[in-house]
Structure 1
């Protein structure tokens, strides 16, 4: 037993709708879950604005983090006693799995876009800073928090440990696909995880899959592909994200212009002035954010008031398929018409693009280099997945991109600026009619 950790006298369990039970047997991990920084994840949704599309998607980063831990725990049990696996790294691996998302903020990706922040940076700050999590981790040794941070940052020397939490087939993805499918009520995210865990094997640099489990991995990759396009990139969810981002953008603009808020954005000022402390970051969660959105519905600024009313009451923007780089003349004309009609295009005419690469083979030296999934063949040789699987080969390296233009449709049918609105409707109608499919495939 590692110094600084004891086995619990009695195993603790969390009842879980995805994994049935999550088993906690180590005092270290139980104490990490009890820290205020980890408990904060109960107040950060896993899927951001998706609850406005799929009403069941109210699950949190807390749920997901426990799930990633549980899958990792089960993988470690499969690996124990096998070549390349070091049993002394068990607690390090499980701690990193549990804490991998602890730095996420409210509606994390929207916040990150507007304020140029990064949840991975804040994860490191929480693990390494003056926090309850750091205090618990240091019981394992003064260098243990640094090791946990390195695993999460993908810089740890043992790449096998890192691959269990961050790779093209890892505990993180295996949990969120199933969990998000469960809470959204869709069937796309289901795959045979039990089979994958049974055929997963450790090697020097990564976890690999026995050849006999190839079809389970095919199913996993196709599930991921379907979840991205049917759930994660759902156009209604993206509409809500657009409005949320524009609320934050507007608040930032007003703050910098010394606007007299009825409800001053005190919890957000550190984001605005670039002087955000760890304490301030941890105080901000989705309950705080939603409170301010509720209050800002009463602000005198018409744009902020309207955007908050739209978000809180789900009066979202409509959309058409539209790539402003392809339809540059239409785009410039729309910008001009919106301005003439006294509707600020910075907030009410927004192009949002989403893209996904469901699986990639090895591309050495490229940005965001992806380590591929390898199969362990009957002759003990490793072979890259797409070389054996026709299904995976068909989608390997193919990036699908989707462009949508979001706008307030009901405004186009209100009184005032009839000529401009008529021309806007004509351009948008033309865009709808030209669209043959909702995405493009790039090699």
Structure 2
């Protein structure tokens, strides 16, 4: 069988032809754990507001893997990199596996599951408990380990390529580094070495390979990494240092495309005009404004789409339905049982709707209300002064309902508080301040201050809101009055309703 027939090719709406040549990538894609991503909406409840937001985690992960290979190929072919720090074949296939698997841990309706459902189901009470609680990144690691077990159990009569793996560790540069930026129409690349890199399998993953995948998902350099000058490998899929990574490149472009929004930043230029200096990814100084545009695009999507009032209302109703169903279906316990979690997806709502179990009656009624557009109602919101952000981090529903002094009853369970923060991806920090740049003809990296780029770039990089929703439309006026009293008691300045 020739190489062209062994390729796995996808026609993607964003990247065009995406080709996966290595057998290990095809092996990842053809697992239950990865195929499950076809049934997870990328934007969760936003689909109930924006009909174009129907794309799923599956195509996003394919796109992230494609971009990660494209970027690592570029670094390999840069002549200025020291030979011992160049990416080798082992780095390349581990990076692509990490890119494919970085979102394996997402639950139903993506961030609805880990940001809303899990904290309530597991009774996280404080911001600290939420911060240290379960995350989809933890879920991705769990599901990756399950994928390795799944592969081991599914393949019979095959043993590890022990000799090949040993050679891969001892002489990683003896293996061909096959560029994957070419499309099918441009032809297939032939190996320039007799070693068959397509023979490496998930079965051959040892402790070091698995840990590298985990660290690439986390965006932090591995403690076992042999050189700090190779930390760029851990800045490609997820970058906790400055948040410039291929995960963001893909989802910003993909979300804008499906939502019908226009994005003015260009991720392909960021990859093209980048180099590795001192082990870190640096960008051409000409691309500094392009980076600001990327983070502003992210801000706009959060402001207009991800936190849309109606989308959040649907999100809270889905969360309530899952919380009501949890004692019966044991949904929250599945995060510790990957053999069950692999079957948990957006389809859980259909399972609830089609059940006649009396224990699921409340959940079924909530889902019926969503379809009939009898949604929770948005009450009001207020933007917080920057010097008072920390003051309201632990705000609870009772703090609002205790301000009710009129007729009628308003209980904490009647309302939902949304402590909303929108930023440039690094909380209150400017992420571009953490980026390194270079000038053509120089091997030195440097930073660029905001004032050297434009005086119109914001000086504040986070804004926080307090939002209130009410579950019963009949209590909308009571909730509104209580919230206005709370605003006055705390001497906050109410903005004009928009």
Counting only pairs closer than 5 Å after superposition, residues 362-401 of structure 1 correspond to structure 2 as 372-378=434-440, 379-387=442-450, 389-391=452-454, 394-395=457-458, 398-401=461-464
Determine helix, strand or coil for the equivalent of 2:63.
helix
- Residue 371 of structure 1 deviates from its aligned partner by 8.4
RMSD of aligned C-alpha atoms? 3.7
Q: 1:216 pairs with 278, 290, 300, which one?
A: 290
**Cross-structure match for 1:202:** 276
Task: Count the aligned residue pairs.
Answer: 402
Q: Deviations over 1:265-309 (max 9, x none)?
A: 3352735xxx8311111121111x111342479858875454232
Assess if the C-alpha contact under 8 Å between 2:401 and 2:479 holds in 1.
Answer: no
- Residue 94 of structure 1 is matched in structure 2 by 96
Where does residue 377 of structure 2 map in the other structure?
318
Cα offsets for 1:38-77 (capped at 9, x unmatched): 1111011111111011111111110100010111121122
Aligned to 2:196: none
The CA deviation string for residues 244-273 of structure 1, in whole angstroms up to 9 with x for no partner, is 222223334xx3xxxxxxxxx3352735xx
The answer to whether structure 1 residue 186 and structure 2 residue 246 are counterparts is no
* Equivalent residue, structure 2, for 1:38: 34
Question: Residues 83-119 of structure 1: CA distance to partner in whole angstroms, max 9, x if unpaired?
Answer: 1432231111111111111111112333224334322
Taking the aligned partners of 1:351 and 1:11, their CA distance within structure 2 comes to 50
Give the structure-1-normalised TM-score: 0.78
Give matches, 1:25-424, under 5 Å.
25-82=21-78, 83=81, 84-88=85-89, 89-112=91-114, 113-116=116-119, 117-129=134-146, 131-132=149-150, 136-139=201-204, 141=206, 143-153=208-218, 154-156=220-222, 157=225, 158-167=230-239, 168-187=243-262, 189-252=263-326, 255=327, 265-266=328-329, 268=331, 270-271=333-334, 276-287=336-347, 289-295=348-354, 299=358, 304-319=363-378, 320-322=380-382, 325=392, 331-333=400-402, 341=409, 345-346=412-413, 348-358=414-424, 360=426, 372-378=434-440, 379-387=442-450, 389-391=452-454, 394-395=457-458, 398-408=461-471, 410-412=473-475, 423-424=478-479
The alignment's TM-score, normalised by the length of structure 2, stands at 0.70
Distance in 1, matches of 2:418 and 2:323, equals: 15
CA distance in structure 2 between the aligned counterparts of 1:282 and 1:270, rounded to whole angstroms: 13
Distance 2:221 2:292 in 1: 28
- 2:277–2:445 contact (8 Å) kept in structure 1: no
Query: Gapped runs of 5+ residues in structure 1?
Result: 1-5, 256-264, 364-368, 413-420
Structure 2 unmatched ranges of 5 or more: 120-133, 154-200, 385-390
Asked whether the equivalents of residues 359 and 395 of structure 1 are also in contact (C-alpha less than 8 Å), the reply is no
CA shift, 1:236, in A, is 1.6
